[in-house]
Structure 1
């Protein structure tokens, strides 16, 4: 895959940093079909989005990856804020950027969201009719995760209450209140991991905090005030509004988050598909992407014609 073009585009008042990938030489002609690829929470464009862009461009698609506002190389203060509504706006503005380009067909734009963006991408498509097809990989709704955690049959409300108290203190620090420590989502190093670390977090740690995918701009941190924005967000509640445009949600049999994709598909109307890859965990879907990427090629190939 050739090196992508470095681009920028606005999202509200912020300048976002992106990578624009042209179709690979000799790849199938897709008549300007293009895919926005949005990254997971605490991640950046150089990680899992680049892996999917490699497969999609080899299949003839144009791809745009980017760092969310407040994160990576994009603008936005305070740094390391996770704001679902800004993240959705970022996706919509990425679509606008693609429409501005003469080498993109504005009627053939799809979105692929990974992990947290697997919630943001459907949410964006529910009301942005310019998005003609939506795919997700290892999807998570950050609001549901804040309220219920990773497991389907649990409640996280006691923990969320503590997080919301920290969020309030974090906001107060803007006017002289005490500083609240930033949240480290994973152990900084595998050797720092406690023995009781849940397997779902160990799966993520083995991706982000090891040479497998470590990147200095993927900070593993999030501001406490993020939780009072995420706490009542619901990515999939109106997935029925995506129809008659198609929805594909990809997960793995070993993904602790598999039930999120099942929930997202259940709340959608046809055409929709849940595609489950045998043997893959949540983080496996970030870099073991041959099958998931091939499925995306098939899906967008049929949807963006």
Structure 2
């Protein structure tokens, strides 16, 4: 089932126009007193993918939802294209809060955030210091900085690999003046059938979503420019999760998610009230579109937290 038809809106973050979808609560849903939830997309993704799936569940439960494309990606402004900047991403969440406070249908005291995948790092980071965010939830959370240092699966990468990526980032930056072409990073093969036989199962999980009709979208190119790595390299999303308290934190993962360790680490660094909710049988990418159980949990969480 599709979410309610969204309104095309926009807001500004660091001078860049951010393209967004605003979903109103379903007319037959419970009255949530203007509660609104910002839904933030994964790395290399867009608002029409997993955020729309969660918006469907949350709007049917009475919440207003705002989903948007990160700067440099999708329909939002920003050059160079396909840049992943954690600090810009965090700023966008805070600017999204500011935008929601201008909407007459939104109760500014009832604004929460849901971060998916890499935004599962950005959302807690923003919540740590933006006291206007009253509740924070994540699905399949990943810290982009930890991933750069340690890998998508726990300790599947190391600082030697990161050093090579930082050299590519330096070459990318030099290309602004030298004009020498630097290859863009393809996170996944273009077609699922092109996956090599030894492709890691954790990335095959992602490809099964992004590179098949299941989740494919032409604006989600699954590419990233190399200079992103020197911005991500020392980012640490969860180091100050204790600052979220006394506001509540919910982190959702799956028993089969290769990234489950991120949520476990993040919750361990938080203070009460906090909860790790693990969905039986789901992988990381399953939490992008198999949202019934996670959605039910989110409805209960935000229903209690945003009142």
For the aligned pair, the TM-score class normalised by the smaller chain equals over 0.9
Tell me, yes or no, if the aligned pair for 1:169 and 1:179 is still in contact at 8 Å.
Answer: no
The alpha-carbon distance between structure 1 residues 153 and 220, as it changes in their structure 2 partners (threshold 3 A), is closer
Residue of 210, 213, 218 corresponding to 1:211: 213
Shift of 1:18: 0.3
Q: Which residue of 2 aligns with 1:282?
A: 284
Correspondences of 1:16-35 after superposition (within 5 Å): 16-35=18-37
TM-score, normalised via structure 1 length:
0.99
Q: Is the 8 A contact 2:4 2:59 kept in 1?
A: no
2:194 matched residue in structure 1: 192
Unpaired segments of 5 or more residues in structure 1?
none
Aligned-pair CA distance for 1:151: 2.4
Tell whether the 8 Å contact from 1:95 to 1:109 is kept in structure 2 after alignment: yes
What's 1:137 paired with?
Answer: 139
Matched residue, 1:263: 265
Q: How much has 1:155 moved relative to structure 2? A: 4.2
Q: Which residue of 1 aligns with 2:168?
A: 166
Cα deviation, 1:91-137, whole Å, max 9, x if unaligned, reads 11111100111100000000000000000000000000000000000
Q: Tell me how far apart the structure 1 counterparts of residues 262 and 4 of structure 2 sit (CA, whole Å).
A: 34
Separation (CA, whole Å) in 1 of partners of 2:153 and 2:218: 30
Could you list the structure 1 runs, at least 4 aligned residues long, displaced by more than 3 angstroms after superposition. none
Instruction: Measure the CA separation in 2 of the matches of 1:167 and 1:11.
Output: 24
**Unmatched tracts of structure 2, length 5 or more:** none
Q: What is the CA–CA distance in structure 1 between the aligned matches of 2:110 and 2:244, rounded to whole Å? A: 16
1:190 is displaced (CA, Å) by: 1.3
Match of 2:203 in 1: 201
Q: TM-score, normalised by structure 2?
A: 0.98
Residue in structure 2 matched with residue 235 of structure 1 by the alignment: 237
Shift of 1:2: 2.6
Residues 251, 282 of structure 1: 8 Å contact kept: yes
Out of 151, 155, 158, the residue aligned to residue 156 of structure 1 is 158
Aligned counterpart, 2:119: 117
The whole-number CA distance in structure 1 between the counterparts of 2:25 and 2:156 is: 44
- Kindly state the Cα deviation for residue 177 of structure 1 after the two structures are TM-superposed: 4.7
Q: Deviations over 1:202-227 (max 9, x none)?
A: 00000000000100100110000000
1:153 CA displacement: 4.0
Partners in 2 of 1:187 and 1:285 — Cα distance? 21
Q: CA RMSD in A?
A: 0.8
Q: Per-residue deviation at 1:75?
A: 0.3
How many residues in Structure 1 have an aligned counterpart in Structure 2? 305
Query: In the alignment, what sits opposite 2:70?
Result: 68
Q: Distance in 2 between matches of 1:254 and 1:19?
A: 31
The corresponding residue for 2:246 is 244
**Which of the residues 7, 10, 27 maps onto 1:8?**
10
